[in-house]
Amino acid sequence: MPELDGAGLCQALKADKELRSIPVMMLTTLGEAQNKIAGLTAGADAYIEKPKGKDDFRVLCAQIQAHLRIADLGIELANRNRPAGIRAQQAEIRARTGKKSPGSPDAAPPKPRGMLRLAVRYSPANQLGGDVYDFYRLDNNRLGILVADVSGHGVNSAMLSGMVKAMAAPLSLAVLEPGELLAGLDVAGEQYFPEGYFCTGFYLIADEETGLVRYAGVGHPPAMIVGPHGPRTLPSNPGMLGIGMVDGTAGATDRIEPGESLVIYTDGLTDAMDPSDVLFGEDRLRTLLQSHYGADPAEILSQVASALDHHTSPGRPADDINIIVLQHLAK
């Protein structure tokens, strides 16, 4: 192209209100991180390397299909935002999906590999929840885990949570660093999130043999590791996703040692109140998790649920609650 390069064309498309919903995938032979970040910053929905074989080509086709689904969800979300149709669309979602909204987490925990064990508990506040979680099998016995929380409740949050899940899948296939994946979600989500909406996110990649984890978070509660040597936190960066304001996201590394458990959760857990408006709180959660760190992951979740029920009784939490426990088996 004599006047525009790929990034320039992408920026022009995304600046046009009529064309910005068209998915843009930048295809190149350059695989360095800075090139990926530059492409995503220009507005691309995905940045991928040219396929080198049949398997790579099949991955590319799956990515294209995923982004077409995202575009369809964007159109559907715009239609649902029309005031006259919101109540009817909300009733339609309930009728079509029963207790699950389109964005409801429904990913089953993957079968255990190596020395790690996993359990999940998702408790929506109502039929149209906004929490998201998903798992991605990566190369070399690595497991990607995403937890995200879309602001608000109702049909918009439910639709946006489904879009976040759809956008994250092709980014995970590129085996991006956790901070790069979250930055990509921010850029890709900007064109779909209505004014006033955003999401938080925490993403990690765990080595299922060694317990090594690389992680990053934006606006999300810190993850916790509990074990025989006491608790520690995996901090999250400040900010919000989905509004185009994340310019790179710093990540870090840690290791889940044998006998330790890593816990990722959404703020509906710590923000849950008792009848006197006292928060469940991070300190209470840390103490509870530390006292049960060696139990089976499912039992840890059961203990948290029991403590939460006792704290909020006779009421119930006002927000969605999502908790994931990743445990490194003791030797």
What is the token pair recorded at 42? 């220009």
Return the percentage of the chain with pLDDT > 90, whole number: 43
Tokens of 3: 């006047």
* pLDDT (tens digit per residue) in 238-289: 999 998 877 667 889 999 999 999 999 999 999 999 999 999 999 999 999 9
Across 42-66, average pLDDT: 72
What pLDDT digit, counting tens, does each position of 82-103 carry? Answer: 544 444 544 544 444 443 444 4
Residues 6+ apart with CB under 8 A from 219: 198, 199, 200, 201, 236, 237, 238, 239, 240, 241
Residue 169 clears pLDDT 70, i.e. is over it: yes
Q: Exposed (0-12), middle (13-18) or buried (19+): which is 178, by Cβ within 10 Å?
A: buried
pTM for this entry = 0.72
The separation between CA 273 and the C-alpha centre of its own chain, rounded to angstroms, equals 25
pLDDT (0 to 100) of residue 90:
46
Predicted confidence band at 35 (pLDDT cuts at 50, 70, 90)? low
Residue 153, token pair as written in the block: 């409740």
d(CA 261, CA 128): 30
Number of alpha helices (DSSP H) and beta strands (DSSP E) in the chain: 9, 12
- Mean pLDDT (whole number) for 107-116: 77
The Cα–Cα gap between 216 and 203 comes to 6
As a whole number of angstroms, the distance between CA 314 and CA 311 comes to 9
